[in-house]
Amino acid sequence: MEREKIRLRFLEIFGLILGLLFLSPFYIILVNSFKTKKEFLLTTLSLPESATLANYTKAIDKMNFVSAFRNSLIITVTSIVLIIVFSSMAAWMLVRTNNKTSKFIFYSFVASMLIPFQSVMLPLVDLFGKNNLNLINTYTGIIFMYMGFGASLSVFLFHGFIKSVPRELEEAAMIDGCNKFQSFWYIVFPLLKPITLTVAILNGMWIWNDFLLPSLVLQRKSLRTIPLSTRYFFGTYQADWTLAMAGLVLAILPIVIFYFFAQKHIIKGAMEGAIK
């Protein structure tokens, strides 16, 4: 037992060192974001002598941080809500009507998961561009695209979960006079809560951080999301490291705050999404 104790103590220390190592890149950008240019040139590793917020005020202004945050939030939240509503409905109908059409539709969702975004991006931009559907530079356009790209995995996850939901409850509701929409929304949907959370987290993580799709379809400055404005900001000020670091801290901050409150759900959601 004594040996076991020593082993655990050793592992504990090893783990903490590893944890600090994992966090060290965050530490280094954080401390440098508070430095003046002069101090940064003298030392990169130490704490700032007198923390200045000048980098932050300038970064918030130059990145259009408030507008970028709002755009990211609107696009991410609306996309998640629409994906959940429509993919849960579709998955339920596909499970309950077990015929050739529904099988075909389900397998077309599954098979499409192998298609990389890069294989569709050029024609996609063309199809939604000025000369065709003209949905570039609109919230509607990008949210619709996220619906399409989020569909496969979300329908797949809901489908797997709904298979284990008993039919009896909804049949009883139908006898009591509910129509299909009512019995889905009042009886089935509340039972899907765990998988709904997983779907929301997986899609949220991806959409919030996505860079390539918005860079192709949101060219107007006022529509930039956080990754987009980070890109332009870093490109312009990359010689000005302390300012750039403040910009990066700002870009990371919303996620870290969200993670702080929802970490249990996030880790669980990511795990369930991967295993199924």
Partner 1 sequence: MAKKLDNPLRKLKEKFLFLGFVGPIYFAFIMVVIIPFLIGVYYSFTNWSAIPGRAIDFVGVSNYIKAFNDQQFAVSFRATIMYTAICVLLINIVGFGLALLVVQKIRSANLLRTVFFMPNLIGGLILGYVWRFVFIKVFVALYETTGLGIFGLPWLSDANQAIWAMAIVTTWQMAGYIMVIYVAALQGVPKSLLEAAQIDGANILQKTRHITFPLVAPAFTVSMFLTMSNSFKMFDVNLALTKGDPSRMSELLTLEIYNKAFTESNFGEGQAQAVILFFLIGIVSLIQVYFNKKREVEM
Residues 19 to 38: which contact partner 1 by CB under 8 A? Answer: 19, 22-23, 25-26, 28-29, 32
**In the complex with partner 1, which residue's Cβ is closer, 69 or 92?**
92
Q: Which of 36, 64, 78, 102 binds partner 1 (CB under 8 A)?
A: 102
**Cα 250 vs. chain centroid, distance in angstroms?**
17
Closest separation in Å from C-beta 99 to partner 1: 9
Closest separation in Å from C-beta 184 to partner 1: 8
Q: How far is the C-alpha of 66 from the C-alpha of 254, rounded, in Å?
A: 12
Q: Which of 59, 63, 68, 94 binds partner 1 (CB under 8 A)?
A: 94
Residue with tokens 């049949």: 171
Closest separation in Å from C-beta 57 to partner 1: 20
Q: Is residue 134 involved in binding partner 1 (CB under 8 A)? A: no
**In the complex with partner 1, which residue's Cβ is closer, 74 or 93?**
93
Q: Does residue 167 sit in helix, strand or coil?
A: coil
Q: How far is the C-alpha of 1 from the C-alpha of 6, rounded, in Å?
A: 9
Residues 184-203 that bind partner 1 (CB under 8 A): 184
Closest separation in Å from C-beta 61 to partner 1: 19
Residues 224-243 that bind partner 1 (CB under 8 A): 227, 230-231, 234, 241
Q: Which of 43, 134, 219, 222 binds partner 1 (CB under 8 A)?
A: 43
Q: Which of 118, 177, 190, 193 binds partner 1 (CB under 8 A)?
A: 118
Least Cα distance to 152 among 124, 186, 191, 113 occurs for 113
Alpha helix positions (H), the chain = 2-33, 37-42, 54-63, 65-96, 100-111, 117-127, 139-162, 168-175, 180-182, 189-191, 193-209, 212-217, 226-237, 241-275
Q: Is residue 137 involved in binding partner 1 (CB under 8 A)? A: no
Q: Is residue 244 involved in binding partner 1 (CB under 8 A)? A: yes
x/- site string to partner 1, residues 246 to 265, per CB under 8 A?
--x--xx--xx--x---x--
**Cα 229 vs. chain centroid, distance in angstroms?**
17
Q: Are 230 and 248 spatial neighbours (Cβ–Cβ below 8 Å)?
A: yes
Least Cα distance to 85 among 155, 161, 168, 138 occurs for 155
Closest separation in Å from C-beta 121 to partner 1: 8
Please, what's the b/e burial string for 75-106 (b: 16 or more CB within 10 A of its CB; e: otherwise)?
bbebbbeebbeebbbbbbebbeeeeeebeeeb
Q: What is the full DSSP assignment across 102-122?
A: HHHHHHHHHHGGGS-HHHHHH
Binding piece for partner 1, criterion CB under 8 A, among 7-15, 50-58, 60-68, 191-199: 7-15
- Residue 139: both structure tokens together: 């919230």
Closest separation in Å from C-beta 87 to partner 1: 5
Residues 58-77 that bind partner 1 (CB under 8 A): none
Q: Which of 53, 57, 81, 211 binds partner 1 (CB under 8 A)?
A: 211
Q: Is residue 170 involved in binding partner 1 (CB under 8 A)? A: no
